[in-house]
Amino acid sequence: MPDQTLVLSQGYQPIKVIPWQRAITLLTLGKVELIEEYDEEHIRSRYLVMKMPAVVRLINAFRRHKKPVKFSRINIYGRDKYRCQYCGDEVTLESGTYDHVVPRSKGGKTVWSNIVTCCEPCNAKKSNQTPSEAGMHLRTKPIQPKAVPIQALRISRTSVPDAWASYMYWNSSLIG
Ligand SMILES: [Zn+2]
């Protein structure tokens, strides 16, 4: 039984999943508008019967995390769209690794601008060399993201309710 509500940004991008009770509170406070309901689920209280909110949209611009984005493996993968930054192959948190662009042995630091998502073969090939020494090229310049990458919202495909489907298409290739 679906009991969660998908929250969309003003631009209809999925940003998070919240318990439906929280969605009701946000609706009551006028912070979100109702986009989709679950047809089959009803909330019953003594005085009212209403459909459960499936998708809501923020009314005001979503101010993403004012705090700096946490430096973590999942956020690095998110920034790099789960692709090896050398060959472009898709990696998962399980199959992939990360690479120090400037190797630690050459003074490279473990920071946003020096860490990229990498597949095992590229990591082995690059070894303790800089990209130019290894004859490899970065696909994108690693930077510190201003916002938690949208890919951090990873929802198992099996748990996505039908009512969310048309909104999840934005990053559907990243779900699963
Ligand atoms: Zn690779």
DSSP string, 120-158: HHHHHHHTTS-HHHHT---SS-----SS--GGG----GG
Cα 67 to ligand 1 centre (Å): 31
The answer to whether residue 176 scores a pLDDT higher than 60 is no
Residue 3: C-alpha distances to residues 17, 84, 174 (Å): 10, 36, 22
Token couple for 78: 């998110």
pTM of this structure: 0.53
Q: Is 18 exposed, middle or buried (0-12, 13-18, 19+ CB in 10 A)?
A: middle
CA of 77 to the centre of ligand 1 (A): 13
Confidence label for 106 from pLDDT (cuts 50, 70 and 90): very high
User: Ligand 1 mean position to 13 CA, how many Å?
Assistant: 29
Q: Distance from the CA of 80 to the center of ligand 1, in angstroms?
A: 12
Report CA(100)–ligand 1 centroid distance (Å): 13
Burial of 40 (0-12, 13-18, 19+ CB in 10 A): exposed
| SS3 label, residue 54 | strand
- What distance in angstroms lies between residue 124's CA and the mean position of ligand 1's atoms? 9
- Position 10 confidence tier, pLDDT thresholds 50, 70, 90: confident
Distance 117 CA to ligand 1 centre (A): 9
Please name every residue paired with 4 in a beta bridge, in sequence order, or none if there are none.
19
| pLDDT at 114 (0 to 100) | 97
Give distance in angstroms: CA of 121 to centre of ligand 1.
6
More confident residue, 52 or 134: 134
Q: Is 71 within 8 Å of 112 (Cβ atoms)? A: yes
What pLDDT score was predicted for residue 171? Answer: 45
User: Is residue 139 pLDDT above 80, yes or no?
Assistant: yes
CA of 78 to the centre of ligand 1 (A): 16
Joined tokens for residue 57: 């949209």
Read off the pLDDT band of 150 (50, 70, 90): low
6 and 164 Cβ atoms separated by less than 8 Å: yes
Residue 128 has pLDDT above 80, yes or no: yes
CA 171–ligand 1 middle distance (angstroms)? 22
pLDDT at residue 149, rounded to an integer: 57
